[in-house]
Structure formats: structure tokens, C-alpha cells
Structure 1
């Protein structure tokens, strides 16, 4: 498995994801995992880790010297499967619309679904993907955190387009 970190100073997950979608073509890299990592140095920003069993594409950008330590952190966290929010991973393209927890686990690299608070949902419960499924590496397991959204339904806890915490409420 080849694992690298890239830190370009992206201000938030959205900016990092846009960069990933512009630069990396998952179809060209079988088994690709691309994750975002919140890092603190040299200032708070989002770094990226990329991992693939058969190597990564040439031409990925080098980090500026000030961001090299953050790139190393992202790569180390991915190597240890201790942290990272997966954006690109095997099967992500099939996680659209509504499906059962069992279908999600069968179609993708996600290994576990956990309700906020720690309970495991039944395999037949319906998951509204919102076409935005971002699992996290937790203790070596790619885990999707979900929340109830109605009777017998769940959805990923992370919203696809969250309202900023200080949004103008005019």
C-alpha cells in the first residue's frame, strides 16, 4: 500500500474535496482511499492523505516546506487508520439515494455503521445517503456515523451542505 500526505493549506473540508475531485481520478487508481485530516500546524487547515494498493498517480503536487509536517501527520494517521474522513474510497460512487445498512456495507469499503451514542443499527434499516457519505477511520475501522431522521430511517450525521456556525440570519 502506498500512502502519502498532501498539505496545501485548504481552509476547510469543502475546499480540500474540490481539489481532490479536480486532481485525482478514482477510476485511474484502483482501491484508492482519499481522506481529509484536520491539522493545527502551521495553522489550522485541512490536509489530505491518499492511499492505494498499487501506487498513486504521478504529478501530485509537493507541499510547501511550511506544510510538510502537516502532510506527514495526515500520512501517519492514515497509515495507522487512526483518523481521517474518507472522501474517495471503493464503492463510494454506488452510495446514492436510499439503501439499507446491509447494502451500504456490501457495496462499499465501509466496515461499520454506528448511531450517534454508539448503538449499531439493524441491517435492514433504511439509510438516506443524501448522496454524501463520508465515513471516518476509527480504531482501524472505516465507520459511518449516522443519526435518526424519521421513523425507521437514518442518514449520515455529516450534512452535505451545512450552515456555517455564524451564518447571517437576515
Structure 2
């Protein structure tokens, strides 16, 4: 088993991103691992995760089932399921979507940790698992164009490839369509 689904009923993408990073650290995932978020569209809409690890990374299923046995999660891989049945079913759907590479928003993926600051599109494609960059509403970027990463890139699986959606800021400079949520101001402006 190399692809797993995990569902804790996480209500937002931001919280799911944090959970993905926490799981990556807790499980000591290898740099080749891919962790994605998946929207669960049902009466209790939320976000599930999927984790793909290369063959030979043993023990992950046992660790995940221990996590699910806490009663607050569901996990799945292949035909195996553990934890809360509804969450385990959504986890299974996330794992299938990831394994088929037809859906999922990648949070951790090969090369993601090094994609900070401003990078050339060609470097991004050479140094990461991102296979393609699509410009929304414009001409596609060239290999020499720049991308302001905002220190956070979230490509999505599309037809078997990780694809990053970007928008043009001005000639030769692009930014990801999905940007981090701003931190609310906590100042007292009375």
C-alpha cells in the first residue's frame, strides 16, 4: 500500500494545510511523498487528505490506524478502512482520487520546500514535481519568466500531472492564483 486517505473532518483548507505539514513531520515522510487536500462535498462539507509514499516506506498504515482509533478520524488504503465509518469512506475517496491523479491539491510534494521567493518558471519545473504551469486568462509563461511564489504553491492533479495555476502580475512576472489567506489585523483601532 502506498496511497492513503485521512479524514479528520477538517473544516478549512488552511487547517488542512497545517494538518498536512503536521502529519509530514509526525510521520517523518520522505521528500518524495505527496500530501494532498480533497474537498468532501456532502452534508458535512470539509477537507480530507491523501498521502502517497514511495514503495518501501513501511509502517505507515499501522501508524494511521492508531491515529484513527482515537475516534476522531477515518483512514483508508486499498480495501482497508479504519476509524469512523463516514470519515473512512471520504478518506477512501481521497486516496482513489490521488492514486488516479485526477484530483487533489498538493501541499507537500517533491521540491515544494525549496520553492520560496521568486523563481524562474523553468527552475520551478526542473526542481519540483510540478509538471505544468497554466496562466489563467492569458498567455502561458515562458521558462525565463518569473514566479513570485508567496512561499506557498499549491498545484492540483489534472489528467495525471501536477499543474500550477498562475496569473500575470505584469510582463514576465506571475503569481499563483491561490494565495495565502491574509492574517486578520488584531490591533485595537478604538
Q: Structure 1: how far apart are the matches of 2:169 and 2:122?
A: 18
Q: Are the structure 2 counterparts of residues 118 and 33 from structure 1 closer, same or farther at C-alpha, using a change threshold of 3 Å? A: farther
- Does residue 127 in structure 1 map to residue 154 in structure 2? no
Q: Secondary structure at the match of 1:111?
A: strand
Q: Deviations over 1:124-167 (max 9, x none)?
A: 11110010100000111100000011232101110111589xxx
Match of 1:41 in 2: 42
Q: Deviations over 1:50-94 (max 9, x none)?
A: 001133635222212221111111001001100000000000011
Q: Secondary structure at the match of 1:134?
A: coil
Match of 1:168 in 2: none
- Which structure would you say has the larger Rg? 2
Q: Tell me by how many angstroms 1:23 deviates.
A: 2.4
Match of 1:24 in 2: 24
Match of 2:53 in 1: 52
TM-score by length of 1: 0.88
CA contact under 8 A between 1:34 and 1:89: conserved in structure 2?
Answer: yes
Q: Structure 1: how far apart are the matches of 2:9 and 2:29?
A: 25
Q: Structure 2: how far apart are the matches of 1:51 and 1:2?
A: 6
Q: Structure 2: how far apart are the matches of 1:118 and 1:128?
A: 17
* Runs of 4+, deviation exceeding 6 Å: none
Match of 1:5 in 2: 5
Measured on the aligned residues, the alpha-carbon RMSD in Å equals: 2.0
Gaps in structure 2 of 5+ consecutive residues: 69-73, 75-83, 185-190
CA contact under 8 A between 2:166 and 2:174: conserved in structure 1?
Answer: yes
CA contact under 8 A between 1:30 and 1:52: conserved in structure 2?
Answer: no
Q: Structure 1: how far apart are the matches of 2:117 and 2:174?
A: 12
Aligned length: 164
Match of 1:92 in 2: 112
Aligned partner of 1:156 among 176, 181, 187? 176
Q: Structure 2: how far apart are the matches of 1:77 and 1:17?
A: 18
Say which is worse superposed, 52-61 or 100-109, in terms of deviation. Answer: 52-61
Q: Structure 2: how far apart are the matches of 1:152 and 1:23?
A: 36
